[in-house]
Structure 1
Amino acid sequence: MKFKGIIFDLDGTLVNSLEDIADAMNSVLQSLNFPTHSYDAYQYFIGSGLRNLVTKALPATHNEETQIDQCYHLMVAVYRDNCTRKTKAYEGIFELLDELKSRNIKLSVFSNKADDLTKEITAALFPDYFNPILGLTTESLKKPNPFKTVEISKHFGLKAEEIIFIGDSGIDMQTATNANMCAVGVSWGYRPEEELISNGAKYVLNQPADLIAIL
């Protein structure tokens, strides 16, 4: 099978955004006199959307829905103003994207980050590489629901089997499998390789250039 399209996760796959996300959430926690968390802890909070991250970051004693809603809106407001302060592409990503573009492979981004933030960060760091760029608009449609990946395949005009889905988490691998796409994990992200393999990764990349061999 010749692969003609690739869907990338954003956080932990294309970009290291952990510090900006953690800093925004920690600033909210500090403002409320709640305990903050280390960057290492945030590696396991990221991946299922910012609302889920807020839920995990709040203390168990202050985790009711109204508190989550309040902190979510506060966190998004802070993060929106700082979402590209420390965030940067992983080493080798630009070279990979240029190679893929030269091969006329169709490229897209699908993230569980809020749709407007996904578009803002991707457009700022990767202009002219990806179409479409999709983030979270409806909780029920977030990964591992394959609905949006199927929509991307229609936009590409490709069969699911012709598309690689690349991500750094078990949720990404589940999404690929649910969509009948080739699940490819990356070892440089926020989750261990064991999680990727146990959730269906067909390949695990140790550096971006490793993808070329799969193609």
Structure 2
Amino acid sequence: MKFKGIIFDLDGTLVNSLHDISDAMNIVLTGLNHPTHTYDTYQYFIGSGLRNLVSKALPAAHNSDKEIEICFECMINEYRKICTLKTKPYDGILDLLNNPALENIKMAVFSNKADELTKKIVSEIFPEHFDSAVGLSTEELKKPNPFEALAISKKWNLSPEEILFVGDSDIDMLTATNANMFPVGVTWGYRTEEELKNSGAKVVINKASELISIL
């Protein structure tokens, strides 16, 4: 089957946002006199939404629902200020998106990042490449729930089988599988090739340009 659309994850797939996310959370932790974390540690906190990241970053003794919610709001406020300060596309991403082979391919972004921030980052870093960018609006629709991915396929008037779902985590591969889309894992993000394959990736690529051969 010829693929006619691609849905990309954002963090760890299109952009390296690790430093901005980590810095924002560490600002909040420092203000509360809690221990901070390294970038390497935050790498394993990313992927299930920022509220989940806040929960993982907080000390166990300060992990009540109320404290998580307060810290989440503080983290979002800090992150909103710096979310494109250090965040950059991964090597080869802009070349991929500008490749003539994608000229007639529909493209969208679906992230577990808050919808407001997803749209802000995509509009500032990729202002001309995607017809839609969807982030997290409610916890019930968080990946691996395929609802938003399927909504994109309906908007495009494409069957799910005609769409590649590209991401760097087990969550992305499970989302693709749940949506009956073709799961493509990337190794330049936050998870390993083994994890991607174990969670359903049909193809794993090491460079952005390799996506063209799948099309």
Bin for the TM-score computed over the shorter chain: over 0.9
Aligned to 2:34: 34
Give secondary structure in 2 for the equivalent of 1:12: coil
**Equivalent position of 1:94 in the other structure:** 94
1:190 aligns with 2:190: yes
Structure 2: state its 5+ residue gaps: none
Per the TM alignment, residue 103 of structure 1 is displaced from its structure 2 partner at its CA by 3.1
Aligned to 2:148: 148
SS across alignment from 2:99: helix
Q: Quote the Cα distance in structure 1 between the aligned partners of 2:213 and 2:68.
A: 44
Unaligned stretches of 5+ in structure 1?
Answer: none
Aligned to 1:134: 134
Q: CA deviation at 1:57?
A: 0.2
Amino acid at match of 2:159: K
Distance 2:162 2:22 in 1: 36
Matches within 5 A, 1:64-143: 64-99=64-99, 102-143=102-143
Deviation at 1:156, TM superposition (A): 1.0
Q: Does residue 44 of structure 1 match 2:44?
A: yes
RMSD: 0.8
> In 2, are the aligned partners of 1:101 and 1:129 still within 8 Å (CA)?
no
Task: Using the TM superposition, give the Cα deviation of residue 131 of structure 1 relative to its aligned residue in structure 2, in angstroms.
Answer: 1.5
What CA distance in whole angstroms lies between the structure 2 residues aligned with 1:212 and 1:73?
40
Identity %: 64
How many angstroms apart in 2 are the aligned matches of 1:120 and 1:27?
A: 21
For residues 184 and 21 of structure 1, what CA distance do their matches in structure 2 show? 24
Distance 1:44 1:201 in 2: 19
- Partners of 1:156 and 1:95 in 2: CA distance: 24
Is contact 2:113-2:136 (8 Å) kept?
yes
Q: Secondary structure at the match of 1:81?
A: helix
| Residue pair 1:12, 1:190 contacting (<8 A) in 2 also | yes
SS of 1:107 mapped into structure 2: strand
Give yes or no for contact 2:101–2:212 (8 Å, CA) kept in 1: no
Distance 1:5 1:87 in 2: 25
> 1:60: which partner in 2?
60
CA distance in 2, matches of 1:214, 1:102: 12
- Specify the code of the residue in structure 1 equivalent to 2:184: V
CA drift at 1:77: 0.1
Mapped to 1, the partners of 2:7 and 2:131 lie a distance apart of 10
Q: How many residues align?
A: 215
Shift of residue 190, structure 1, vs aligned partner: 0.5
Q: Is the 8 A contact 1:108 1:131 kept in 2?
A: yes
